[in-house]
Amino acid sequence: MFDVGLGEMIVLVLLALVIFGDRLPQAAAQAGRTLRQIRSMANNAKQDLQDGLGPEFKDFDIADLHPKTFVRKHLFDDVDDDRRPERLEPVGGHPDDFELEYGERPPFDAEAT
């Protein structure tokens, strides 16, 4: 996430020592408390949202709404959907009747259009 090398890290630590001095441990503790509080608020908001949506959305994850995750989940993941037939079959006919020969036109229903 952050591309900080060893040299930059040393400069940041020295800068923090100069700015905060002997109050550096107190400032670090306050930053830790603030991060825990923000994380707790985010988790509570997520839980309230899931509770408000009801039992239909018990597996709902907010991260799924991120565009990259959404596309990956719905387009690139393997979907095991049993509702979709492997091959189309004509209604009331034999499956071999559905195959067309080269140059043969498919059946046309003039009343359907």
pLDDT for 21-48, tens place per residue?
A: 888 889 889 999 999 999 999 999 988 8
Q: What are phi and psi of 26, to 5 degrees?
A: -65, -40
Task: Work out the average pLDDT over 38-67.
Answer: 85
In 10 A of CB 46, how many CB atoms? 14
Q: Please provide the average confidence, as pLDDT, over all residues in the chain.
A: 79
Kindly list the domain boundaries of the chain, sorted by start residue: 6-79
3 state DSSP class of 3: coil
Distances (CA, A) of 33 to 46, 47, 69, 85: 20, 21, 31, 55
User: Is the separation of the CB atoms in 98 and 88 below 8 Å?
Assistant: yes
